[in-house]
């Protein structure tokens, strides 16, 4: 089976990861997954304001995901939306498990992600960009987080759905993992699938994430091992 863009079912889209793209952030990264592009900037650890939001025994991760107005065909409304708030929360949860938050009590770590071009899989591109940006900022982590969305088109399990594929797929299953021990930090699904499908989809998602994980490490090596 060949997909609309010529990929095999198990292929991720052409991907680029660059660490350290922003001068003013403590850590940053840009991720391109096909036509989807996300940029992440990390600030901190820094003092948490307002103080009432401080956590006594750990840092708080403050994630903000947003799509720029020029990221979609129809100019997206600028500013936060219900969707972007929900995704900010989901991304926060997907990353929190990986960060040693307990090393920075009362602090805040700001993770700001702008999707500058959207063609499906923006939450997964955002997680990949943020994960590399956190590592680029030197924040201690258990592991990097790698994320990809998988689906099922014409009875075949496919990795990294592109925009035109989203409508064709029986489901859209974004997954994030910490590949070293295989822990899953994001797993979402809408729709109706037999258990065997879910199992297989999770398996191919993990395989896709393993490829992305290698690219994340390579981007950090390129930036820091000169
Ligand atoms: P994800 O981007 O993580 O796949 P969704 O499933 O919510 O999340 O969105 C799928 C795709 O639909 C996005 O990647 C984007 O290409 C498109 N999209 C989402 N929200 C909007 C919007 N407000 N305007 C135009 N396109 C959008």
Provide the sign of the torsion angle of the four alpha carbons 82, 16, 197, 164, taken in this order: positive
Unique residue bearing structure tokens 């993992």: 177
In a domain, 203, yes or no: yes
Q: Check if 120 has its Cβ closer than 6 Å to any atom of ligand 1.
A: yes
Nearest 5°: the CA angle 184, 187, 193 is 125
In a domain, 19, yes or no: yes
Query: Mean of the pLDDT values across residues 43-48?
Result: 95
First-to-last alpha carbon distance for the chain, in angstroms, is: 41
203 φ/ψ sector (left φ>0, alpha ψ -120 to 50, else beta): alpha
User: d(Cα 13, Cα 5) in Å, to the nearest integer?
Assistant: 9
In a domain, 214, yes or no: yes
Domain carrying residue 166: 15-220
Q: Check if 119 has its Cβ closer than 6 Å to any atom of ligand 1.
A: yes
32: pLDDT strictly greater than 80: yes
Confidence of residue 139 (pLDDT cuts 50, 70, 90): very high
Q: How many domains, the chain?
A: 1
In a domain, 1, yes or no: no
Query: Mean of the pLDDT values across residues 21-25?
Result: 98
In a domain, 49, yes or no: yes
Report how far ligand 1's centroid is from the alpha carbon of 118 (Å). 7
Q: Check if 76 has its Cβ closer than 6 Å to any atom of ligand 1.
A: yes
- Reduced to 3 DSSP states, what percent helix, strand and coil does the chain have, rounded to the nearest 5? 30, 30, 35
Residue 44 sits in a domain whose CATH number is 3.30.230.70
In a domain, 22, yes or no: yes
In a domain, 10, yes or no: no
Per-residue confidence (pLDDT) for residue 111, from 0 to 100: 98
226: pLDDT strictly greater than 80: no
User: d(Cα 84, Cα 115) in Å, to the nearest integer?
Assistant: 11
Report how far ligand 1's centroid is from the alpha carbon of 22 (Å). 25
Q: Whose CA is nearest to atom 26 of ligand 1?
A: 72
In a domain, 200, yes or no: yes
Per-residue confidence (pLDDT) for residue 190, from 0 to 100: 82
């Amino acid at each position: 089976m060949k997909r609309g863009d010529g990929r095999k079912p198990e292929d991720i889209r052409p991907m680029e990861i660059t660490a350290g793209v922003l001068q003013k952030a403590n850590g940053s990264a840009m991720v391109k997954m096909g036509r989807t592009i996300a940029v992440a900037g990390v600030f901190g650890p820094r003092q948490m304001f307002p103080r009432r939001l401080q956590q006594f025994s750990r840092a708080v991760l403050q994630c903000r995901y947003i799509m720029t107005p020029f990221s979609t065909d129809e100019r997206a409304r600028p500013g936060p939306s219900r969707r972007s708030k929900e995704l900010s929360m989901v991304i926060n949860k997907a990353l929190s498990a990986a960060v040693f938050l307990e090393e920075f009590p009362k602090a805040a770590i700001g993770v700001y992600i702008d999707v500058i071009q959207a063609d499906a899989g923006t939450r997964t591109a955002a997680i990949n960009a943020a994960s590399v940006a956190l590592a680029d900022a030197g924040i201690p982590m258990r592991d990097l987080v790698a994320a990809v969305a998988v689906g099922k088109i014409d009875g075949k399990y496919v990795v990294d759905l592109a925009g035109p594929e989203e409508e064709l797929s029986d489901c859209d299953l974004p997954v994030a993992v910490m590949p070293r021990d295989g822990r899953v930090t994001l797993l979402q699904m809408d729709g109706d699938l037999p258990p065997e499908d879910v199992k297989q989809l999770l398996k191919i998602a993990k395989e896709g994430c393993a490829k992305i994980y290698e690219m994340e490490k390579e981007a950090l090596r390129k930036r820091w091992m000169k």
